[in-house]
Amino acid sequence: MSLKIPRDSEEWTTFFDLAHAAKGKVPADLLESPHILSILPAFYRTARGEKMDKEKIKKLIELLSNVNK
């Protein structure tokens, strides 16, 4: 069964971003984007002042990249 998503379409990009996120990987184009680093948190407030773990940081990157599309 093939995916009926045109290459280079917005859906194609979203699909691969989500697929990478599901595997816990950050898509390569995001890794290379200078913009993403500037919009990520320098500091954040959590209920008990704890650090975010890597998985949560990856989820946040995914969330912000979708918000900023």
Partner 1 sequence: MQGPDLKFSDVLKAANNFLSSYHLSSSLPIPIEEIVEHKMNISLFAIPNIKPLLGIDAFISADFTQLTVDENCFIKFPERTRFSIAHEIGHLVLHKEWYTSHGPKNLADYLNFPDRIDNQAYKYIEIQAHTFAGLVLVPRKLLLEELRKRLGRIPAMESPEMLAAVVQDLPEIFKVSDAVILRRLQKEGIIKFNS
Chain positions contacting partner 1, by CB under 8 A: 26, 30-31, 33, 36-47, 49-54, 56-61, 63, 67
Closest separation between CB of residue 69 and partner 1, Å? 13
Cα(54)–Cα(44) distance, integer angstroms:
14
Closest separation between CB of residue 15 and partner 1, Å? 20
Burial of 61 (0-12, 13-18, 19+ CB in 10 A): buried
Which C-beta is closer to partner 1: that of 2 or that of 38? 38
Q: At what angle do helices 54-67 and 10-22 cross, to 10 degrees?
A: 170
Closest separation between CB of residue 8 and partner 1, Å? 23
